[in-house]
Structure 1
Amino acid sequence: MGETASVWPGRNWPLGATWTRASTNFAVYAPNATAMWLCLFDEDPDGQERETRHELTEASLGIWHGELPDIAPGTRYGYRADGAWDPANGHRFNVDKLLLDPYSLATAGTIRHDRALFGYDWDHPEERSTEDSAPVTARSVVVDPSFDWEGDAPMKTRWRDTVIYELHVKGFTQLHDRVPEHLRGTYAGLGSPAVVDYLRDLGVTAVELLPVHQFFSEPSILERGLSNYWGYNSIAYFAPDGGYSSSGDRGQQVSEFKEMVKSLHRGGIEVILDVVYNHTAEAGPAGPTLSFRGLDDKGFYKRVPPPDGPQGWQFDDTYWDVTGCGNTVNSWDNLALRLILDSLRYWVTEMHVDGFRFDLMPALARTGTEVDFHCALLIAIGQDPVLRHVKLIAEPWDVSMDGYLVGRMPPPWVEWNDQYRDTLRDFWLRGTGGVRNVATRLAGSSDLYADDGRSAYNSVNFITSHDGFTLRDLVSYERKHNEANGEDNRDGSDNNRSCNHGVEGETDDARIIALRRRQAANLMVTLCLSNGVPMITAGDERGRTQRGNNNAYCQDNEISWLDWRPDDAWLDVYETTKAALRLRREHTALRQRHWFEGSPTIPGGPKDLAWLHPSGREMTEADWGDASLSGVGTFMSGAPLREPGPSGEQLIDNSFLLWFNAADRPMEIALPANEWVQAGEVVLSTDETLPAGTGVKAGQELVIGPRTVVVVSST
């Protein structure tokens, strides 16, 4: 271990390691530290790692800083901070713990579950450990940020035109036979032509990537011989996770991520990141010391008031936790707020991503312990000239009793709408009586979003997500089967609203298989043609299964990876999904900009929306209250479009009539003379007796098969 004092004063901004050909400036925030060392790592002539410490003697505004010449990109580094060991008051300084730079642009290596990672003495938690953590933890990396974007610019796809596809970087390509083997499971694999072509052909406009900020697995998972697969355990908010890099982890992952974004943009696909700013991988008081805890534990994490009675260090009650992960980031803290905003801007301006989905957003939107929509973070994002124009999606709940806020996030935020998910699952799979709530969800959830100036596109509609059953499992299992997670099947939700249609799990019964596929297609068509922003979970369109596991967060294996073989794929569901997305894309009637009003959009024209009873009449108030009604029709009027024809310009009416029958019996439909559809053609159907191309006209009576969707376009 070497030591030198040849450090220039440098400057206290920007935070992190700022590389130039002449020198590199290092700046790290630790306002209560008494001393700080920058630690550089290289190899000696025998190939053994060598650490050289440089004391940073300059400190201003709580930031320690210094500058060193001749630092090459790819150099590994970390910090050691000295100061008080007083956990009861939020001070956990320990010079024996190597700390990641909170602003590191890349990290090298991983962590191993070892006592050295913990800041306290394992056997005496009130005492500071003297065991060095450097041999078992990761390092930050100095990065050259230059990159040729070749004119890439933000796509700014309108919300009404957006179709989101939630996927995992590794799981999507790990088994893809058309992706070169050495690129599978990586950023480069996701940006490969085979993947981009598939996404574009399916009809999605944006991928929402499960967390790609550098994360590490929790010790409790490692002890079970598993690993954190989903990635909701972030620790470096500027660094793309090195585990998804095919080219190395000494900064190459940064360039590879940028190449992936550039490739997806060329294919017309936006990139949205699922970001986890609400907690970190340092977990609770007994978690590992990796970065923030060793630099500013007092400020970065929310604390609970001390308990009544004798004062002292409460080892199990130090942090206030509404994330379920041991800690909650204090977004009012100077460093935390600055870091979140700097990180978001970095990913937009330097990495060219198009938006963010915020995990457990209410955990961040709190003043003290109360949810506050006027909190510093929301105000700062709303006025930021960069961030206010990107896609901002909230998961509008956390794990607390008061953290469920669906329909309450302020503009311009859009939200994951779990009420859409639950209502449509109940309708198609559980026979829940009545169609009132179903109609509300299909029309954009006006009960949640119409009262404060927002639109239907503030609702991100979904049937499944990474968290829960896949679509195939939703129609194949009624109980979770999470034994592989090593938690005795206690983890994961029991509120699945699923249906196995007669047999639990996979079966050879052709009748059941056909029904399951039809139900999956029904759910996908409904999702794609509902008002709002549809979100599809990767692989649902082709029958991906997790074998009944509804909480595969720790399954980095074939349980979670998408199987691209056609043998057992539900390719009929794929074709139906693709057709539904094409209809949505080509016809504005299926993605209207404004709320439906149930009145004509032009004088003398038809209503913009009408709900139809199977008898042929418009729905009445009594019909809406009929719990036995399990089918409904809806007319959606398209604005007349001018399109050149054989004899000049002519009007094209692209209105639609959709019928949904969730009953296990056929539904007789009367189509009397009406102002909506005088004549039409079936353009999409899950009913084999009414295939696409079937003609329909006013005065006709139809029989809609059990558990089917039929879409008719006017002619």
Structure 2
Amino acid sequence: MKQKITVSEGKPYPLGMTVTQRGEINLAAALHGKEDCGVILYPRKGGSRIRLPFHSGNRVGNVRCMKICGLQAQDYDYNFYVGDEIVTDPYARQILGNERWGRRVNPQLRGREDFTAFDWGGDVPPMTPLHDSILYLVHVRGFTRHPSSGVNNRGTFAGIVEKIPYLRSLGITALELMPAYEFVELERRKETRPSDRPEPMDRLTDDSPKERPRINYWGYKEGYYFAPKASYSSSDEPATEFKGMVKSLHENGIEVIMQFYFPKEVKSGFILEVLRYWVYEYHIDGIHLLGEQIPTALLASDPMLANTKLFYYRFPCEEIYGSREIPDYRNLACYREDFLYDMRRFLKGDEDMLGRVLFHLKENPAQTGVVNFIAGYEGFSLADMVSYERRHNEANGEDNRDGRDYDASWNCGAEGRTRRRWICDLRRKQMRNAIALLFFAQGTPMLVSGDEFGQSREGNNNPYCQDNAISWLNWDLTEKNGAFLDFVRAAIRLRKEHPILHRPEEMTMLDYIACGYPDLSYHGREAWRLSVERTSREAGLLYCGNYAKIDKTRDDDFFYIAYNMHWEEKELALPALPAGMHWEKVMDTQDGSVVGDGRVVEKSIRIPGRSIRVIKSFGKPVKEGKRVEGATAF
């Protein structure tokens, strides 16, 4: 018996496919032009396609709409058409046709509405403040795709859930996911002469001998922003699996930050709709915005995103807040590479860097946070930045012409792999130095997954197309480089346990509570005096624990962190502590120690070349509020 289908005037919003309370299908699409346009319905169980045109009267602006009676929405996938062109709905909640990673899209992408109910239970977002956050950057596929991951569902959202015990042991508070919305990863690229730059195309559509496939492993391209990536799901319900991942992470106090790349052609209103949808539908906790012409003021001012972390290169704070307003919940953070380049140059001993390093260690703006990272998805990994000075991107097939020309790296004496013991020891120490610089700066630290156990990309500083061991995490390294992993865990734990190392506001370098010490002070060969000259590469930073409370009850400890990136040993003076207290070492990048030796440190310390030492106060003050003679802010 032939179905009776009736088409009537629909509603222009929301866009895409929705179902009314009466079970009718509402379809709305922004289709420009005067050509014949409509919808194609594909029966899921087989059968003939149904082609229904939009009537000219059912139009509001450029939005065409219709309401269909007589069909069940869950029985059909759909596309729109404009003339002879098939258009996959950018508002589709699920995309069909690209479920298998790296395969040709066949025969045509199709949209599908997600009708699966999900029980969020008592899901509560952690809402971790920026100053308490520790971000961990993850590529969903690469995180667990390697056989060494030991998970059942490799390369998927479910695989991340299986790694939650590891994430908790590491101490991170938020997972930042590289693009995990639907995108077509299989691209085509024309063969070019050596002097030409290859240009990526949308996707493979034919077998032209002048074109060859290329995987866009990262996913920084225009995508189908309302749908989780189907090939990152171990089931045929990617939306449900993604929600389950978010819920499980929240139960363990871990937030989910999503990266979204929007080319400049994407409209501001659409971007806002995408972000609102993911926050409401998927309970994500933050968004890292990538691309040009992002409407940051619009997004930052949206009430629905007020409790959602938003990261971007910069924010127009004057336009968003005015000159003096401080937000109740600081959800904006600047995500730039200034920290990366300055700290790397300091690490390798460049001149005239100490002033910039002191700025980054203290930086913590009132209206926006700052995200610090010393390695990212692009450029050298942490292990490679101490092992390579030149890019080695031959595997990308672009004659080693792609990627950055300058990474502010230093190979410590040999390019790439080496067995020379002194070079390997120096590289390990430099990695520990990098971790100390990252986690003892006041801004929000971001660690790239795998860097905590020395994952190398073999000198490739642009592995955008490497869906293989170059990009997949090798979990065997957690044992091979276990000592370094323990050092990273200890640095994270020390930061989290002591609020003086991650204050909610920027330090003033003033004694504003009249305790005898400023909150932060700088020291050199003499206590309370630091010379910042072009050749200076060492400094001691004193953090006064009286300015922060542990568990809101007792004052934090004093910390003195000594930095020496000169290749020779340097002596730094130690300021006196209140009576009844003394200094002891608790961490040292020279030997990787993370447990104190119990020896009292007095008056001054000698810091080996290219090392960082953390010294903490022990004991209780005999008399509080005693001013230390000569204590002044730098």
Q: Is the 8 A contact 1:543 1:569 kept in 2?
A: no
Alpha-carbon distance in 2 for matches of 1:677, 1:665? 34
Q: Is the 8 A contact 1:37 1:56 kept in 2?
A: yes
C-alpha deviations, 1:107-166, integer Å up to 9, x for none? 011399xxxx9xxxxxxxxxxxxxxxx964311112115211011122211111111111
Alpha-carbon distance in 2 for matches of 1:650, 1:200? 26
Q: Is the 8 A contact 2:545 2:555 kept in 1?
A: no
Alpha-carbon distance in 2 for matches of 1:640, 1:74? 62
Q: Secondary structure at the match of 1:381?
A: helix
Following superposition, the deviation at residue 684 of structure 1 comes to 1.6
Give the equivalent residue in structure 2 for 1:710.
Answer: 613
C-alpha deviations, 1:314-336, integer Å up to 9, x for none? xxxxxxxxxxxxxx225xxxxx3
Are residues 689 and 276 of structure 1, via their aligned partners in 2, closer, same or farther at CA, if it must alter by over 3 Å?
A: closer
Asked if 1:590 corresponds to 2:501, the answer is yes
Asked if 1:579 corresponds to 2:564, the answer is no
Could you tell me which of 521, 526, 537 is aligned with 1:610? 521
Give the equivalent residue in structure 1 for 2:13.
Answer: 13
Asked if 1:342 corresponds to 2:273, the answer is yes
Superposed, which structure 2 residues align to 1:237-636 within 5 Å? Answer: 237-248=225-236, 252-277=237-262, 279=263, 328-329=264-265, 336-360=267-291, 363-365=292-294, 377-396=295-314, 413-444=332-363, 449=365, 453-454=366-367, 458-566=369-477, 569-613=480-524, 615-620=525-530, 623-624=531-532, 626-636=533-543
Give the equivalent residue in structure 2 for 1:234.
Answer: 222
Give the TM-score of the pair, scaled to structure 2: 0.85
Alpha-carbon distance in 2 for matches of 1:597, 1:170? 43
Following superposition, the deviation at residue 227 of structure 1 comes to 0.4
Q: Is the 8 A contact 2:144 2:151 kept in 1?
A: no
C-alpha deviations, 1:559-590, integer Å up to 9, x for none? 10111013874222211111111111111110
Following superposition, the deviation at residue 663 of structure 1 comes to 1.8
Alpha-carbon distance in 1 for matches of 2:505, 2:553? 25
C-alpha deviations, 1:594-637, integer Å up to 9, x for none? 22222214223311111111x233234xx11x222211110011
Could you tell me which of 84, 92, 96 is aligned with 1:108? 96
Q: Give the root-mean-square deviation of aligned CA atoms.
A: 2.9
Letter in 1 for 2:289: F
Query: Percent of counterpart pairs with the same letter?
Result: 33
Q: Is the 8 A contact 1:27 1:63 kept in 2?
A: yes
Alpha-carbon distance in 2 for matches of 1:269, 1:658? 29
Are residues 436 and 344 of structure 1, via their aligned partners in 2, closer, same or farther at CA, if it must alter by over 3 Å?
A: same
Are residues 641 and 534 of structure 1, via their aligned partners in 2, closer, same or farther at CA, if it must alter by over 3 Å?
A: closer
Are residues 77 and 533 of structure 1, via their aligned partners in 2, closer, same or farther at CA, if it must alter by over 3 Å?
A: same
C-alpha deviations, 1:263-308, integer Å up to 9, x for none? 111111100111112x2xxxxxxxxxxxxxxxxxxxxxxxxxxxxx
Alpha-carbon distance in 1 for matches of 2:467, 2:579? 51
Give the equivalent residue in structure 1 for 2:324.
Answer: none
Q: Is the 8 A contact 1:109 1:139 kept in 2?
A: yes
Asked if 1:22 corresponds to 2:23, the answer is yes
Unaligned residue ranges in structure 2 (runs of 5+): 190-199, 205-210, 322-330, 619-634
Following superposition, the deviation at residue 703 of structure 1 comes to 2.3
Q: Is the 8 A contact 1:3 1:52 kept in 2?
A: no
Letter in 2 for 1:392: L
Following superposition, the deviation at residue 70 of structure 1 comes to 3.0
Alpha-carbon distance in 1 for matches of 2:184, 2:339? 33
Alpha-carbon distance in 2 for matches of 1:13, 1:513? 61
Give the TM-score of the pair, scaled to structure 1: 0.76
Give the equivalent residue in structure 1 for 2:562.
Answer: 659
Q: Is the 8 A contact 2:432 2:484 kept in 1?
A: yes
Superposed, which structure 2 residues align to 1:634-673 within 5 Å? Answer: 634-639=541-546, 652-671=555-574, 673=576
Give the equivalent residue in structure 2 for 1:55.
Answer: 53
Following superposition, the deviation at residue 381 of structure 1 comes to 2.1
Q: Is the 8 A contact 1:39 1:54 kept in 2?
A: yes
Letter in 1 for 2:50: T
Are residues 406 and 62 of structure 1, via their aligned partners in 2, closer, same or farther at CA, if it must alter by over 3 Å?
A: closer
Letter in 1 for 2:93: L
Asked if 1:147 corresponds to 2:118, the answer is yes
Alpha-carbon distance in 2 for matches of 1:406, 1:346? 24
Following superposition, the deviation at residue 244 of structure 1 comes to 0.5
Letter in 2 for 1:169: V
Are residues 70 and 440 of structure 1, via their aligned partners in 2, closer, same or farther at CA, if it must alter by over 3 Å?
A: same
Q: Is the 8 A contact 1:610 1:634 kept in 2?
A: yes
Letter in 1 for 2:231: G
Are residues 659 and 141 of structure 1, via their aligned partners in 2, closer, same or farther at CA, if it must alter by over 3 Å?
A: same
C-alpha deviations, 1:643-692, integer Å up to 9, x for none? 89xxxx99544110001111222223343646699512222211239763
C-alpha deviations, 1:155-206, integer Å up to 9, x for none? 211111111111101110112645443x1101111122xx111111111110
Following superposition, the deviation at residue 219 of structure 1 comes to 2.4
Are residues 602 and 43 of structure 1, via their aligned partners in 2, closer, same or farther at CA, if it must alter by over 3 Å?
A: closer
Alpha-carbon distance in 2 for matches of 1:650, 1:190? 36
Could you tell me which of 160, 174, 177 is aligned with 1:190? 160
Following superposition, the deviation at residue 434 of structure 1 comes to 4.6
Q: Is the 8 A contact 1:678 1:698 kept in 2?
A: no
Are residues 414 and 676 of structure 1, via their aligned partners in 2, closer, same or farther at CA, if it must alter by over 3 Å?
A: farther
Q: How many residues align?
A: 581
Following superposition, the deviation at residue 30 of structure 1 comes to 1.7
Q: Is the 8 A contact 1:74 1:143 kept in 2?
A: no
Q: Is the 8 A contact 2:226 2:274 kept in 1?
A: yes
Q: Is the 8 A contact 1:476 1:505 kept in 2?
A: yes
Letter in 1 for 2:384: D
Q: Is the 8 A contact 2:301 2:320 kept in 1?
A: no
Following superposition, the deviation at residue 642 of structure 1 comes to 7.2
Alpha-carbon distance in 2 for matches of 1:61, 1:523? 55
Q: Is the 8 A contact 1:170 1:184 kept in 2?
A: yes
Letter in 1 for 2:169: D
Alpha-carbon distance in 2 for matches of 1:676, 1:409? 49
Alpha-carbon distance in 2 for matches of 1:177, 1:562? 8
Following superposition, the deviation at residue 24 of structure 1 comes to 2.1
Moved more, 204-213 or 52-61: 52-61
Alpha-carbon distance in 1 for matches of 2:115, 2:462? 38
Are residues 3 and 33 of structure 1, via their aligned partners in 2, closer, same or farther at CA, if it must alter by over 3 Å?
A: farther
Q: Is the 8 A contact 1:43 1:50 kept in 2?
A: no
Superposed, which structure 2 residues align to 1:29-48 within 5 Å? Answer: 29-42=30-43
Q: Is the 8 A contact 1:653 1:714 kept in 2?
A: no
Give the equivalent residue in structure 1 for 2:625.
Answer: none
Are residues 462 and 214 of structure 1, via their aligned partners in 2, closer, same or farther at CA, if it must alter by over 3 Å?
A: same
